[in-house]
Amino acid sequence: MPSTRTTSTTTTQQQPFLRLRLDGSDGYFGDWQDDLIKNGYAVIKGAIPKERAAKYVDEMHEWLESFEMGYKRGDPSTVNIDSMPLISEKGMCMNYAVPHEDFVWQIRSEPGVIKAFEQVYGTEDLLVSFDAVNVTFPNRTDLPENKPWPHQDQDPEKAGFRVLQGLVNLLPNGDNDGGLMVCKGGHLLSEEYHKEMKKRGETRIPAWTPEWYGFPKEGLEWLKERGCEWVKVNANAGDLIVWDSRAPHYNVSPTGDQPRFATYTCYMPVADATQEDLIKKKDAFERRVGTTHWPNAKHTGWNEAKRNGEHHGPKRDRPRKEPVLNERAYKLTGIPYIQENAQAAA
């Protein structure tokens, strides 16, 4: 259980700044927010100190080793599917209660990370996603190829800026080290794009949730014709990368000699979630399951990691190290914002 609790109820704090609209009308800030406004993504340099990024890298290795399946840091012969917990070819792992490992909670509690989202949303009353970690080793031949999967993590029927996604980059990440690919400026064309594709009667790529849309070839061509280019976002250890959920994006795997380690950290205003969402989120917290990128817990995950119908590796439905949350982090679970009557009715 978290070490600190707070009993306060929702109070929307008066902030000297407003929520960004990300529609081209936000004005000028003189910092990374200008990049976000214009390009749909931004890098916040040094959001966490380098030493702490290095500590989290250590903890990621420790976590991988803790399954005792064979993985040993620094030994490439142990980088294979049988020696590690189940991690997709895209580098993602959301099972084994990893979204609630103490080090993962520490990353999402980093003041420099939270601050960026407070600036964008203009409020301190935020929820954080119980999100996946990314562990991608270079040149894996034991996994399917990580083919481009351009998508947006937002329902195309719901226009406008809704959620800012984020990832904390833990290892230096250059051109050959894998990472996030974003279609620059695509967020500003989102509404027009979806109207046009609907008009054309597009065939939708199957999605497991309405809050996901895969860009078909025709759509990618449409974006290209409008001058949108795809860029690989490079970052240093400790940098935070943020992007508008409407921005077309995917990730690529490393082809150099070092892995990609990152954790996904998405935040949204408490005011955008219902009491029902918060109750669902509390349940996800208590069961130590993930929520995907959406901090309002629209979808919750599971801790079983199935490979060919069988559980892969030791079962874990609690984190190896239970999270110890400070007061700020505990608020980000949304639990203190649950009103008594809503809890009683649930």
Ligand X SMILES: O=C(O)CCC(=O)C(=O)O
User: Which residues within the stretch 253-282 sit at the binding site for ligand X (CB under 6 A)?
Assistant: 264
Number of residues that make up the chain: 346
Contact 309, 102 (CB under 8 A): no
Q: Which residues contact 4 (CB under 8 A, 6 or more apart)?
A: 325, 326, 327, 330
Q: By CB under 6 A, is residue 129 in contact with ligand X?
A: no
Q: By CB under 6 A, is residue 249 in contact with ligand X?
A: yes
Nearest-approach distance from CB 230 to ligand X, in angstroms: 13
Nearest-approach distance from CB 304 to Fe ion, in angstroms: 23
Residue number, 166 or 319, with CB nearest to Fe ion:
166
Residue number, 48 or 180, with CB nearest to ligand X:
180
Question: Which residues contact Fe ion by CB under 5 A?
Answer: 153
Q: By CB under 6 A, is residue 155 in contact with ligand X?
A: no
Contact 178, 122 (CB under 8 A): no
Determine the interface stretch with ligand X among 52-60, 188-196, 243-251, 312-320 (rule: CB under 6 A): 243-251
Contact 53, 124 (CB under 8 A): no
Q: How far is CA 121 from CA 10, 227, 344, in A?
A: 16, 29, 30
- Per 3-state DSSP, the chain is made up of helix, strand and coil in percentages (nearest 5) of 30, 15, 55
Contact 275, 173 (CB under 8 A): no
Q: By CB under 6 A, is residue 43 in contact with ligand X?
A: no
Q: By CB under 6 A, is residue 246 in contact with ligand X?
A: no
Residue number, 153 or 155, with CB nearest to Fe ion:
153
Q: By CB under 6 A, is residue 235 in contact with ligand X?
A: no
Determine the interface stretch with ligand X among 80-88, 93-101, 248-256, 296-304 (rule: CB under 6 A): 248-256
Nearest-approach distance from CB 251 to ligand X, in angstroms: 3
Q: Binder to ligand X among 83, 95, 134, 253 (CB under 6 A)? A: 134
Residue number, nearest CB to Fe ion:
153
Q: Which residues contact 103 (CB under 8 A, 6 or more apart)?
A: 55, 56, 59, 60, 63, 321
Residue number, 20 or 182, with CB nearest to Fe ion:
182
Residue 264 interacts, among ligand X, Fe ion, none and using kind-specific CB cut-offs from 5 to 8 Å, with ligand X
Residue 146 interacts, among Fe ion, ligand X, none and using kind-specific CB cut-offs from 5 to 8 Å, with none
Closest CA to 258 of 57, 84, 82: 57
Nearest-approach distance from CB 105 to Fe ion, in angstroms: 22
**Cα angle: 132, vertex 134, 139; to 5 degrees:** 150
| Distance from C-alpha of 240 to C-alpha of 16, rounded to nearest angstrom | 23
Contact 335, 278 (CB under 8 A): yes
Closest CA to 100 of 316, 267, 323: 323
Q: Binder to ligand X among 44, 116, 167, 270 (CB under 6 A)? A: 167
Q: Binder to ligand X among 47, 180, 237, 329 (CB under 6 A)? A: 180
Residues that bind ligand X (CB under 6 A): 134, 153, 165, 167, 179-180, 249-251, 264, 293
